[in-house]
């Protein structure tokens, strides 16, 4: 590594950390402190903002809503994508390349295009304002993405494994669930990471498809922004808390992360 | 290892669940959009078929063209910074060791923050009254205010996007770089190659594959950007930072002018499709050169 | 071209309980074809990495032409290396790949473009790859790519030594012998000092002027292929070399000592070893019972390898009073039959250090001159 690259890395890390640091300091200060006095290091740190979030149902229910549609989405995506990815990696069939490409286009679709139709569609089937609606809507992107990633990994598992299981006399379900899926644990972890990366962060669809019942955290935060009498401290605390699930997910899949990126299948 | 894939149409059973879900999520809505795009909808009961009128109107709408122009400028600017920066950051990362995991996690964090929070973080950070950056720049005498000055708004948006997405390029590049077996570096060293020659002849060939992906992904994603600028500047001051997605969202939801909005959507989507096609071909046909792996698709 | 001396060279990874390489000394002559032979874990890769400058010695020194290079990097030592898989610059043509080592050091060696071009042509000619010069690596087969890699290693006329790290590993089996021949021919013609690291004894014994057999971080014997085969200095050498390797028999008082003495076995020997081809099968009773080492054995397995003068030859495995024995030669017994194993030549080993103490050939030995390699 040349020293130029090293310095760039160091400065970039500082560049990354500064706004995050600022977020934390804001989260630890009272709103009146924030608007009153400008300080780089908080002189009066307080956990009141976090307490507000954990005690106010508007906030913690919102977190719950977000987590529930993300989990739902990841579950559906992975369950549905596993057989498809298996089949893409092992067989050729009529229209396979076209189907694969079409799936990819969905991952790349601009959410704005789907706002209105989704709104109408989910309203008409009575799913409006539920986590399931958001989970399904996000499937538009996460399912193709999951198939795409899983297929990449699965193609690296030799078909001899399948044959050996057959020779050993195992039925296909046994092979698939007890042998093949455990082999692809890393792949599933990476897919989980990328599904999370899509679903947890998205705003447009999450906002369009929810009303007051299933309001996700991303909406509560933006609503807070547009209201007057803005509480920066609570907002910052909420923001800080949204970073936490991400860190947890990355931590768990860190070993397989690079391989996932290496396949270029982000 | 190349997998010899047998032909078996029963494989369709495996893709059926995927097909159903994506069709539900994509095909029906898309058909709706295309349907609307060729009609003039005054209210629920009166609709007229207008053919390609909306398309023509949209493509000639000055506000559309402006938004498109801003979008192109924005996308090219962020790409021009994120790609070289991402490569340099990746080269600076230690290939293995205690720091590697920590740094990779740090790099991944911006990618996992809800996009509105990204906007909020930068809002808090860049404001000239309470933000570290805002106040800092003003202390240095720069009269920085992104809410009223369009140039400042642009610069802040670009800085935010760089903060948000460079990690993607860096992680992709890092993956490419670590796929170089150490023997290549050793051989180059024994040859007496200079550092620049090592970068050009050993690293770049490996990087070129992932870089194409990085460029296409960033191009497509930046073309669709909505949330972050919305939260940070709201599209302002005035229209200065209104890009395509925001324009479309305003049209579709705010103004209830379904026909033109639908036409706009279709044009937007077609444009993305074009990039997607290029992306698909470059991933499927290009391979990184590796002794132990072979592309399995033909 | 360099003469290389390893002087009490040893290596241990920091924090390791045991050293990977125990202090060893060996001299490799200028222009010699030298092989490092050993199983995985023997330490040969570590030794190679010490030679190439990738690792710094913990003890001892490395001398190139009398100069201590232990702290110098690989490129300062002016050496070249061929790896297990072909390492080429994928974005350059073959001609540019070959020219690279010369162009990179242009400031030092002052080669003009004309000099470089003629050297490329020469090496390409030696390797018979002139027709590949304009192509890119990804259009070549593994065999061709490895040839180019070898060519790259030979480009610098003043290269001190060429290190080869199991260069035939990635090449398809049926082209291995071709590559081996090309290597040997090049080494002889150009007179380059080459150090060939491998776990394959055929490769080592056919290529090298001298072989160093390694195990457990030590060099057990450094000698010509002939000597290593005929007169192994250590039990492991006898066991590792040859297919199958030596038979080993412990000498104890249950077996009549005069038999050994008469055959010339060292009276203090504790074990003897003999190669399967140094023994033969004879139907009892023996003609000269005391003049050769022999045991009665029952045939358990016959593996036919071919025929010679119409007689099947191969490896016969027998169970005997001194353990399992393998004999190579004419198969003149069937499974289950009882037959005499008569040993014509053997090596005595001292059991504590497994070191050879004596080489003996019996008076009734039917072996003529020492046999060559397989």
Torsion sign, CA atoms B196, B198, B203, B205: positive
Residue A88 and residue A101 in contact, taking contact as beta carbons nearer than 8 Å = no
Q: How do the pLDDT tens digits run along chain C, 374 residues long?
A: 788 888 888 898 888 888 888 889 999 999 999 999 998 888 888 999 999 999 999 999 999 988 898 888 888 888 999 999 999 998 899 999 999 998 888 777 778 888 889 999 999 988 888 888 899 998 898 889 999 999 999 998 888 999 999 999 888 888 888 888 888 888 898 889 999 999 999 999 999 999 999 998 889 999 999 999 988 888 889 889 888 888 888 876 545 566 666 666 766 677 888 899 888 888 877 666 666 778 888 899 899 888 888 888 999 899 988 888 999 888 888 888 888 888 888 888 876 667 777 777 766 666 665 433 32
A5 to B89: CB separation less than 8 angstroms, yes or no: yes
Quote the pTM value: 0.77
**Do residues A35 and A59 both lie within one domain?**
no
| Interchain contact C138–B (C-beta under 8 A) | yes
Number of residues that make up chain C: 374
What's the confidence (pLDDT) of residue C34? 94
Chains with 3 or more CB pairs under 8 A to chain C: B
Please, are residues A227 and A76 in contact by the beta-carbon 8 Å criterion?
no
Within 8 A by CB and 6+ apart from C183, the residues are C150, C164, C167, C194, C196, C207
Q: What is the Cβ-side half-sphere exposure of residue C186, based on CA atoms within 13 angstroms?
A: 23
**Distance in angstroms (rounded) separating the CA atoms of residues B153 and B126:** 10
Burial class (CB in 10 A: 0-12, 13-18, 19+), B18: buried
Instruction: Tell me, yes or no, if A90 comes closer than 8 A to chain B by beta carbon.
Output: yes
> Which chains sit next to A, with 3 or more Cβ pairs under 8 A?
B
CATH of residue A205: 1.10.3720.10
Tell me whether residue B140 is exposed, middle or buried, using C-beta atoms within 10 angstroms of its C-beta: 0 to 12, 13 to 18, 19 or more. Answer: exposed
Note whether A1 and A125 are same-domain residues.
no
Residues 199-218 of B with CB under 8 A from C: 201-202, 204-205
Residue C302 forms contact with B (CB below 8 Å): no
The minimum CA-CA distance between B167 and chain A, rounded to whole Å, is 10
| Nearest residue on chain B to C52, alpha-carbon basis | B190
ipTM of the complex in this document: 0.81
* Claim to verify: residue A90 and residue A174 sit in the same structural domain: yes
DSSP alpha helix (H) spans, A91-130: 96-107, 111-124
**Alpha-carbon gap, residue C276 to C331, rounded angstroms:** 12
Q: At A34, is the secondary structure helix, strand, or coil?
A: helix
Q: Are A102 and A203 part of one and the same domain?
A: yes
Same domain, A30 and A94: no
Query: Are A34 and A59 members of one domain?
Result: no
Same domain, A37 and A111: no
For chain B, domains (ranges, CATH) are: 62-285 (1.10.3720.10)
Same domain flag for A152 and A108: yes
Structural domain count, chain A: 2
Name which of A59, A113, A161, A242 to mutate to probe chain B: the one with the most chain B Cβ atoms within 10 A of its Cβ: A113
Enumerate domains of chain C plus CATH numbers: 4-229 (3.40.50.300), 235-361 (2.40.50.140)
Q: Are residues A60 and A152 in the same domain?
A: yes
Instruction: Please check the confidence at residue B45 and state whether its pLDDT lies above 90.
Output: no
Angstroms from C155 CA to nearest CA on chain B: 10
Is A80 found in the same domain as A116? Answer: yes
Q: Spell out the long-range contacts of B133-138 with Cβ–Cβ below 8 A and sequence spacing 24 or more.
A: B133/A18, B133/A19, B135/A38
Both A30 and A130 in a single domain? no
Quote the strand ranges of chain A, DSSP E. none
* First-to-final CA distance of chain A: 25
What pLDDT is attached to residue B90?
Answer: 92
Question: Domain residues for A178?
Answer: 55-262
């Amino acid at each position: 590594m040349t020293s130029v690259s090293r310095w760039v890395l160091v400065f970039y890390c500082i560049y990354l950390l500064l706004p995050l640091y600022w977020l934390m300091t804001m989260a630890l200060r009272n709103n009146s402190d924030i608007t009153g006095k400008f300080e780089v290091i908080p002189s009066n740190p307080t956990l009141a903002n976090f307490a507000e979030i954990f005690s106010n149902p508007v906030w913690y229910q919102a977190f719950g809503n977000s987590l529930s549609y993300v989990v739902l989405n990841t579950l559906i995506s992975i369950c549905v994508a596993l057989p498809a990815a298996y089949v893409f990696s092992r067989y050729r069939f009529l229209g396979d390349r076209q189907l694969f490409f079409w799936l990819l286009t969905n991952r790349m679709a601009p959410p704005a295009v789907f706002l209105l139709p989704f709104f109408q569609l989910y309203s008409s089937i009575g799913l409006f304002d539920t986590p399931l609606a958001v989970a399904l809507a996000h499937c538009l992107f996460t399912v193709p993405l999951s198939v795409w990633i899983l297929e990449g990994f699965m193609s690296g598992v030799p078909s001899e494994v399948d044959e050996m299981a057959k020779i050993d006399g195992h039925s296909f379900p046994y092979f698939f669930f007890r042998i093949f899926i455990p082999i692809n644990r890393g792949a599933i972890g990476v897919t989980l990471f990328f599904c999370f990366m899509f679903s947890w962060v998205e705003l447009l669809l999450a906002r369009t498809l929810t009303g007051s019942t299933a309001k996700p955290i991303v909406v509560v935060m933006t609503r807070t922004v547009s209201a007057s009498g803005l509480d920066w401290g609570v907002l910052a605390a909420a923001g800080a808390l949204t970073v936490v699930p991400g860190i947890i997910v990355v931590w768990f899949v860190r070993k397989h992360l690079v391989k996932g990126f290496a396949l270029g299948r982000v | 290892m190349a997998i010899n894939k047998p032909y078996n149409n029963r494989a369709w059973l495996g893709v059926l669940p995927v097909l159903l879900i994506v069709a539900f999520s994509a095909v029906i809505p898309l058909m709706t959009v295309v349907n609307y795009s060729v009609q003039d909808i005054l209210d629920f009961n009166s609709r007229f078929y207008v053919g390609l009128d909306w398309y023509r109107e949209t493509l000639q709408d000055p506000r559309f063209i402006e938004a498109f122009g801003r979008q192109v400028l924005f996308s090219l600017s962020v790409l021009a910074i994120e790609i070289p920066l991402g490569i340099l950051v990746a080269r600076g990362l230690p290939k293995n060791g205690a720091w590697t995991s920590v740094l990779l996690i740090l790099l991944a964090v911006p990618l996992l923050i809800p996009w509105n929070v990204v906007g909020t973080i930068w809002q808090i950070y860049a404001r000239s009254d309470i933000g570290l950056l805002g106040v800092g720049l003003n202390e240095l005498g720069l009269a920085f205010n992104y809410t009223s000055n369009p140039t400042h708004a642009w610069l802040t948006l670009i800085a935010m996007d760089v903060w948000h997405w460079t990690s993607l390029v860096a992680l992709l590049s890092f993956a490419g770089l670590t796929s170089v077996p150490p023997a290549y570096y050793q051989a180059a060293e024994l040859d007496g190659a200079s550092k620049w020659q090592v970068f050009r002849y050993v690293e770049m060939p490996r990087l070129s594959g992932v870089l194409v992906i990085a460029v296409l992904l960033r191009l497509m994603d930046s073309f669709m950007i909505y949330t972050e600028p919305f939260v940070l500047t709201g599209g302002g001051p005035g229209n200065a930072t209104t890009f395509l997605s925001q324009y479309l969202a305003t049209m579709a939801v705010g103004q209830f002018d379904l026909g033109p909005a639908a036409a706009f959507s279709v044009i937007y989507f077609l444009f993305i499709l074009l990039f997607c096609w290029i992306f698909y071909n470059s991933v499927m046909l290009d391979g990184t050169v590796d002794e132990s792996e072979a592309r399995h698709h033909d | 071209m360099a003469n290389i001396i390893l002087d009490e060279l040893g290596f241990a990874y920091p924090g390791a309980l045991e050293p990977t390489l125990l202090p060893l000394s060996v001299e490799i002559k200028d222009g010699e074809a030298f092989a490092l032979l050993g199983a995985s874990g023997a330490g040969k890769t570590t030794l190679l990495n010490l030679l190439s400058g990738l690792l710094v010695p913990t003890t001892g020194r490395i001398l190139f032409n009398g100069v201590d290079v232990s702290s110098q990097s690989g490129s300062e030592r002016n050496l070249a290396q061929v790896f297990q898989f072909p390492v080429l610059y994928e974005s350059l043509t073959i001609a540019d790949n070959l020219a690279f080592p010369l162009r990179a050091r242009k400031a030092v060696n002052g080669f003009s473009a004309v000099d470089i071009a003629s050297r490329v042509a020469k090496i390409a000619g030696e390797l018979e790859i002139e027709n590949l010069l304009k192509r890119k690596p990804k259009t070549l087969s593994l065999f061709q790519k490895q040839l180019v890699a070898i060519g790259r290693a030979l480009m610098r006329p003043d290269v001190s030594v060429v290190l080869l790290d199991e260069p035939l590993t990635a090449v398809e089996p049926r082209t291995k012998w071709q590559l081996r021949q090309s290597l040997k021919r090049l080494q002889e013609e150009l007179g380059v000092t080459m150090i060939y690291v491998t776990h394959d004894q055929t490769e080592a014994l056919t290529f090298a002027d001298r072989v160093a057999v390694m195990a457990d971080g030590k060099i057990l014997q450094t000698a010509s292929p002939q000597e290593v085969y005929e007169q192994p200095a250590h039990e492991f050498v006898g066991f590792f070399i040859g297919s199958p390797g030596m038979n080993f028999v412990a000498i104890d008082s249950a077996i009549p000592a005069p038999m050994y003495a008469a055959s010339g076995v060292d009276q203090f020997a504790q074990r003897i070893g003999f190669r399967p081809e140094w023994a033969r099968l004879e139907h009892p009773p023996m003609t000269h019972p005391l003049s050769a080492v022999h045991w009665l054995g029952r045939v358990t397995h016959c593996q036919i390898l071919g025929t010679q003068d119409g007689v099947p030859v191969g490896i016969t495995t027998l169970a005997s009073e001194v353990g399992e024995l393998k004999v190579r030669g004419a198969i003149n017994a069937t499974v289950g039959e009882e037959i005499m194993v008569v040993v014509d030549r053997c090596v005595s080993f001292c059991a504590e250090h497994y070191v050879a103490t004596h080489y003996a050939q019996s008076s009734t030995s039917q072996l003529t001159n020492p046999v060559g390699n397989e």
